[in-house]
Structure 1
């Protein structure tokens, strides 16, 4: 109260003075003394000088951070920095990136501001959205289909009595939680907190009208796609890691993988064929639900400004320069489904600390055989979290198409009622996955898995289905036998019933949100029964409609997440299995001599007689 009275009799402080005061507070509270010295040295060495003003240019920042040309994100990241650098007077953006402005950029983009302001992630998301958005009322208007329903369940236009509205992946439809109910005309929460921290209540008069309202703000789709490429690229970045160490990720096939993954992630935000940009409600909802860690890679990237190569305290003055640190491969093994871009995509919602440089290929259907026995021998002894990835091609669903053979047999085990497919992509390529922290085991009366289990889709649409605490039917593994009704892997379904239930029905009971693979790993089915409200897993936040994808499996992989201890235990088990198999082979065949063994098999009538086996006749 006293501060308000003292403000009335004098002119308010200038923006420059308040900015300098806040920057000094951030620097003092959020940086160590060594980081601050290093930052000033980096800025001094990079800054251009004009009319007594030192500032950083776009190409200077791009070169220093080693942003590769292949992702085309230099202009986007500079736009973000120029906006954030104007904090807390965002109406003055874009800012000239001087010393104080770069302090704002580093503090906010690395979330160090929490030490001073103590605000939550929602405020930062709103600020980052504004830093990427353009304000154009014509651009922000979502076109209408005039009542024409979209194909393949991608969008459905329905009349609710008030007028036709978009359902499904509507650009600005989904919003939930009190956190999102913000007055779009108010100043961002971080700005208010900054003014309060300066103890200048007169600055709070900037509540309304200082920045364009969010309803007119849109992130252009192409700009966001470029940013996604950069975020995928920097996701595995560690503290003080150089981006040049990952240059192979933005060339050749790896760059193609990055672009394909970026397109899948972008589809969760927008249908680029229908709308030119992403609105705030969609942006906020999707990031909260599907990719809360999407911006984590910006922290080590921006923190490069805090480490000066001229201040290397790990060597004596005039001594030899330390050799550059060799970077451990992000992905130690090669897979058909998994690659470095997919690993980065997974880190958007799973802890990167358990993924990068810590995943090992345990099972590959293409190499180890598409059988449950091979799956069991390769996966069951891994005592740490695992990632199951399955890819396939969507089964035809056109009118008049009739399935035959194994496909027909699989489809007869599914309920006759089905939903439209989950996306309208033309290629029909699908990739689903499962993250489970508990070791795999045979399912008898109950499923395994915990509340940290995730079911997800990676392609062609990025989607995540977290587990529910109210239903424990997470994962089941059931091998073929006379005592079980259905063999295979089921996620989100109740355990297969015994032989009595099998006599009553040959149809699988699909969970509300579920993934089913048959016992031969030939076919699969993913279901999102949005109307039901969910079961063991929550329904899709990104697609608010019922959908189902039936597909033929092309690849199946399981990756172990863990350290050297788990890998050593698994390797020892595989070595033991190999020794046991060799011992059994020698016992069965005698000497181990190939010619003698062949003669023995011929005498038994097992080979060389044009028969499939021996005879009792």
Structure 2
């Protein structure tokens, strides 16, 4: 860990001798030099530490850590759901990481020194210390080995000669020679920390408890859902919805191990595949956890006591930026704050209650492709298409005539005698998919539309992602919206509906919705049996599923489409909506007075006038 090949600049470097205690102090000096004075001032203020006193060994309590992270102010706050357990996992992780550069050093509790070292690593500033570093490995160990210090101490008792003693000199590579008059901060910068020998823990032994991982994932999803401008207002409300976020952390955990249970374990090999699903998810969210609470939030809004640092007023957006606001976000059957945090993490895009608006919901507007078309075609920005239902049971497959009609038109890939359900698929379970569509919707009864940003997401029962294939020929045109009886397709070639012949051409990885919005099929096969079908989407990023062939056939219970965009896009859309509203009102309010002689006829018929009393025949 932390080992890397030397650069050309290192070739002329030399080594110097330090004790472990000296290296600990120098490493701490290097870390603390990366924090701004205002950040240190707020940290000390929040912990009631006198800046004139050296208190690096002062132990931070779990409640103090929760308060720093804006996750609780009292002991009662830590009794809400599983928050206490999640804070405990973060606390132990910081204790472990704070032991750098010698992880075998153990102590009880989280000292101020360890907290600051942990902050540097959680916030990503370790990159200024190490030229190469496996953060994923270190963080995994900090979760998997909550008592790693004790284990290493036991090991050192058995082989004391293999570990350097506190007063024993260690040879350390230097980037530049140090001078006797160098202050600790300067001397620490001259050390080549990347090449410092550190304890290498065996990854074959520790395994991460799935429950502990789920706690961390839930906390990070919550963190990513918080509007940074109203942090203190939202956090209490959001923590009350812990169970909602926990559902989606379970889906991510299931991606790592398809048959996982809470009492199961996650290996490091499984843990690091989370980057295949959501690149840098862990590191980005930990950075957010630190920078939006301990390091930055207070520093932007308050003047810390015991310091001459000037007060920084929070920035007020110009009037033009707040002129057009998205309608107030209201949760739907499929979409809530937890869902948006989950989707945003999988897509690595900012999708939140602040930039999303509901365009269509089948439960409100009816499951009609015409209704769907009227609601979504005017939105000229990206959309999120969400479809959910229950996996078809054998009884429906054999008795439902509407399904059988669709099944007749949708080409079979598996033989009737084959058992198509895999070990991770259960009969009758809920299945949910979402599709991110970057380009505006349009009728495409002849030619597909779309671009290479289109992404299909498996939401439940496990997370998965299917990205568009890069092709100069296809150019991401993987979507059709056929209002002539063939429904909607993602990853399909154009369906056939001619001279009484109807047929679908699903791609290797595709999502097909029939025209009545009643049934849908997600197909994942290694190679399509039809030469008329091109491959539009990459196969699963889940290692086990990638080479499996399967289908999700389900009856649709919910379908929603949400618009995603900026305030500019919303402003343009609102202008169009307002114009349409005015046109509709104009059509409904005919100026009867201008009808002249025709008015008398209308009055006789009882259609106007007479105070609504009607006419006589």
1:41 lines up with 2:45 in the alignment: yes
Deviation at 1:596, TM superposition (A): 4.7
Distance change in 2, residues 1:111/1:597 (3 Å): farther
Residues 524-566 of structure 1, C-alpha deviations (whole Å, 9 max, x = no match) = 1111114669921111122231111111111111111112222
Cα distance in 2 for residues equivalent to 1:77 and 1:342: 23
Cα distance in 2 for residues equivalent to 1:568 and 1:2: 59
Residues 191-214 of structure 1, C-alpha deviations (whole Å, 9 max, x = no match) = xx999786657994736xx23211
1:540 lines up with 2:553 in the alignment: no
Cα distance in 1 for residues equivalent to 2:69 and 2:336: 24
Matches within 5 A, 1:173-322: 204=195, 206=197, 210-239=199-228, 242=231, 245-251=234-240, 254-270=241-257, 271-273=259-261, 276-290=264-278, 292-303=280-291, 304-307=293-296, 312-313=302-303
Partner of 2:410: 414
Deviation at 1:406, TM superposition (A): 1.7
Deviation at 1:330, TM superposition (A): 12
2:65 aligned residue (53, 58, 61): 61
Cα distance in 2 for residues equivalent to 1:44 and 1:308: 18
1:22 lines up with 2:27 in the alignment: yes
Gaps (5+ residues) in structure 2? 1-9, 72-77, 148-171, 176-187, 317-324, 593-597, 609-617
| TM-score, normalising length: structure 2 | 0.73
Does the 8 Å contact 2:209/2:265 carry over to 1? yes
Partner of 2:557: 554
Gaps (5+ residues) in structure 1? 137-192, 599-617
Cα distance in 2 for residues equivalent to 1:384 and 1:530: 33
Distance change in 2, residues 1:294/1:531 (3 Å): farther
Does the 8 Å contact 1:134/1:217 carry over to 2? yes
2:340 aligned residue (340, 343, 351): 343
Matches within 5 A, 1:74-85: 74-85=87-98
Partner of 1:144: none
Deviation at 1:447, TM superposition (A): 2.0
Cα distance in 1 for residues equivalent to 2:438 and 2:194: 49
Distance change in 2, residues 1:25/1:274 (3 Å): closer
Does the 8 Å contact 2:487/2:513 carry over to 1? yes
Deviation at 1:79, TM superposition (A): 1.6
Partner of 2:321: none
Partner of 2:142: 131
Deviation at 1:46, TM superposition (A): 10
Partner of 1:499: 498
Does the 8 Å contact 1:492/1:513 carry over to 2? yes
Partner of 2:82: 71
Stretch of structure 1 that moved more, 266-275 or 339-348: 266-275
Cα distance in 2 for residues equivalent to 1:34 and 1:479: 59
Cα distance in 1 for residues equivalent to 2:105 and 2:327: 41
* TM-align CA RMSD: 4.2
Partner of 1:160: none
1:371 lines up with 2:362 in the alignment: no
Distance change in 2, residues 1:352/1:118 (3 Å): farther
Cα distance in 1 for residues equivalent to 2:537 and 2:50: 50
Count, aligned residues: 520
Deviation at 1:389, TM superposition (A): 0.7
Which entry has the higher C-alpha Rg, 1 or 2? 2
Deviation at 1:25, TM superposition (A): 2.6
Distance change in 2, residues 1:22/1:345 (3 Å): same
Does the 8 Å contact 1:334/1:361 carry over to 2? no
